[in-house]
Amino acid sequence: MKKSMLLFLITLITSTIITVSSNNWIGMWMGLELNMMSFIPIIMSKTNKSNSEAAMIYFLTQSISSMLLLTMVFMSLMFKNPMMTEVMKIIITMSLLIKLGAAPFHKWMPDMLSKMSWNNCMLLMTWQKIAPLTMISNMNNMTIMMNISIIWSIGIGSIGGINQSSLRKMMGYSSINHLGWMLAINKSMNLWIMYLSIYMILTIMVCKLFNKYKMFFINQISTLNLTNSEKVNMFIMMMSMGGLPPFIGFLPKWITIQSMTDNKEFMLMLIMIMFSLVTLLYYIRIMTSMFLTHSTSIKWSNFNNNSFMMMMSINMMLPIIIITDML
């Protein structure tokens, strides 16, 4: 790794810590700006047309949301009218949703992901969510705007990925869907941090697997000569991303359903569960082309592969947790 890239990665981590630990708006805004200026050089680590476009999309989107955020923070200090304060809260929430790529402000995210490497996609879908989600959680602000964004994120994240052939766009819509689930439990910091942690582990594993085989489109999967062990491994990870029991990906969704049941948010919960089934459709699409092709390599030749066994054990932890809890 280049020394400059290491510097930008350290700055990226530091900027998120600054935002999370700040107790005022200016400190949080400063952390977000530093985060943006650290991530753009990481995107541009390899200079080509796609990376330049991705960096420009990211810069424009984040700049607009930061401008909205700072303007509303200054206006909230000037105007003390309760009605104006509510409007400002909604616009601040909107600016943070733009930063996250939540629907209806999501359009930039799949387009940007389709122009980047898997490692940069992995960073955008995981680490870059921490700071804005923390700010929304600290606001403790479940407005109509937030509920609309939750429903739209889950709906668009589910339906948007069905017709995609690009795996990076598909992962982008999957990220928008999971973001809707995180926003639904954003009032409780412990719950959404747990959801985000499990989501980050699964996303990192999937992105690393796709990066290893240089997979960018669904039709590439059928051309790969994967062993049965690798196919099973990919199947487990995809189903876990979809939240199918008994894999570990079901645990954060189970926690969310339990929390929403306690808060008596039954209608929203029903919509979320129904759309969650739709997401499984495009995960199964990835698996179909893989399992219906014949592999000529020796079966189970990589069964003792350490990374395979580690991923298998992570994804199969949930049944052990459930059995332990029952006992």
Give the closest residue to 205 by CA, choosing from 247, 177, 238.
Answer: 238
- Confidence at residue 302, expressed as pLDDT on a 0 to 100 scale: 46
How would residue 162 be classed by pLDDT, with cut points 50, 70 and 90?
confident
pLDDT at residue 79 is higher than 90: no
Rg (CA), the chain: 20
The C-alpha atoms of residue 116 and residue 96 are separated, in whole angstroms, by 23
- Confidence at residue 116, expressed as pLDDT on a 0 to 100 scale: 93
Mean per-residue pLDDT, 115-144: 89
- Determine what percent of the chain is predicted with pLDDT higher than 90: 49
Mean per-residue pLDDT, 24-46: 92
- Confidence at residue 59, expressed as pLDDT on a 0 to 100 scale: 95
The C-alpha atoms of residue 100 and residue 61 are separated, in whole angstroms, by 10
For 217, the 3-state DSSP assignment is strand
The C-alpha atoms of residue 293 and residue 291 are separated, in whole angstroms, by 6
The C-alpha atoms of residue 52 and residue 44 are separated, in whole angstroms, by 7
The C-alpha atoms of residue 223 and residue 226 are separated, in whole angstroms, by 9
For the chain, the average pLDDT equals 85
Q: How far is CA 255 from CA 5, 40, 275, 315, in A?
A: 37, 35, 17, 17
Phi/psi of residue 118, nearest 5 degrees: -65, -35
> Could you write out the DSSP letters of every residue in 59-79?
HHHHHHHHHHHHHHHHHHHH-
pLDDT at residue 145 is higher than 60: yes
For 311, the 3-state DSSP assignment is helix
The C-alpha atoms of residue 248 and residue 311 are separated, in whole angstroms, by 11
- Confidence at residue 298, expressed as pLDDT on a 0 to 100 scale: 45
- Confidence at residue 169, expressed as pLDDT on a 0 to 100 scale: 93
The pTM assigned to this predicted structure is: 0.88
- Confidence at residue 129, expressed as pLDDT on a 0 to 100 scale: 94
Write out the two tokens for 115: 């122009």
Give the type of residue at 171. Answer: M
> Could you write out the DSSP letters of every residue in 148-207?
HHHHHHHHHHHHTTTT--BHHHHHHHHHHHHHHHHHHTTTSHHHHHHHHHHHHHHHHHHH
